Structure formats: structure tokens, C-alpha cells
Amino acid sequence: MTSNADAAEVFRTIADLLDLLGEKFKPEAYRRAARSLESLTEDLGTVAARHELRSIPGVGEAIAEKIEEYLRTGSILYYERLKREIPPGLVELMRLPGSARRPRAGSGSSSASKDRASSGTRSARVGSSE
């Protein structure tokens, strides 16, 4: 049996993985659901057994389905797929105090933005050697 805190951590990690992949709106939805799961005063399995997952703030149809999958199997296929797309340890590194925070929506995570950033770094180095 899984605890509410365990389930909340899975959804918080999904949010972090989505951040790292440059998703704009989904991470906050998963964070909101994680906060709700963590603060839930009743066992998540009990709420699911009554078919009331969607009554939890931040839990819509898609997240309710993932919670049911997690309670049924102990895993979420979507979560496992996301973990394969990000190098191991990157989420943990991102969570260290003082580390660069997760990317935010509109933070320029596109490859064009990365090219501009790297080009700016090169020109800054060239300019500093003059």
C-alpha cells in the first residue's frame, strides 16, 4: 500500500521532469495535484475506492486515471516514460539548495534560444579578451 506522501512525490517528480522537458502548463497542474495529495487528510486509496478522486483539488480526469494506475500497479507508465527521457540524477541535482531552479514557461528553452545564449557567451568571451 502506498502513502499519500509517496503518491505526492511521484506527481511532484512528474512536474519536475515536465519542467526539464520545457513543458509550459502541465508542470503546475501536477504540482497542484501533488500538494493536494500531500495535504489530504484521508487515505488516497479510500478516496479512490469511493470514486471521488476528482473531488480532490487539482485532480482532473487525466490525473485521476494516473492515481488509479499508481494505486493499482505501484507505478505510472507516463512517469516511467518521462524518467527515460531525462538523464538519471538530473531531477535530484535540480532540487539541491543553491542549484539552478527549474526552467519556467517562456524561459527560452527552445534550441534557437540555446543557440542565442551560447552565441552570446562566445561573444562575451571574445569581448573580454580585447
Q: pLDDT by residue for the chain (130 residues), tens digit each?
A: 579 999 999 999 999 999 989 999 999 999 999 999 999 999 999 999 999 999 999 999 999 999 999 999 999 999 999 999 988 887 777 777 876 555 444 444 444 433 433 344 333 444 444 3
Domain holding 32: CATH number? Answer: 1.10.150.110
Can you give the pLDDT at residue 112?
40
Can you give the pLDDT at residue 99?
66
Query: At a CB cut-off of 8 Å and minimum separation 6, what does 107 contact?
Result: none
Can you give the pLDDT at residue 101?
55
Whether 19 contacts 107, CB under 8 Å: no
Number of domains in the chain: 1
Range of the domain at 16: 4-128
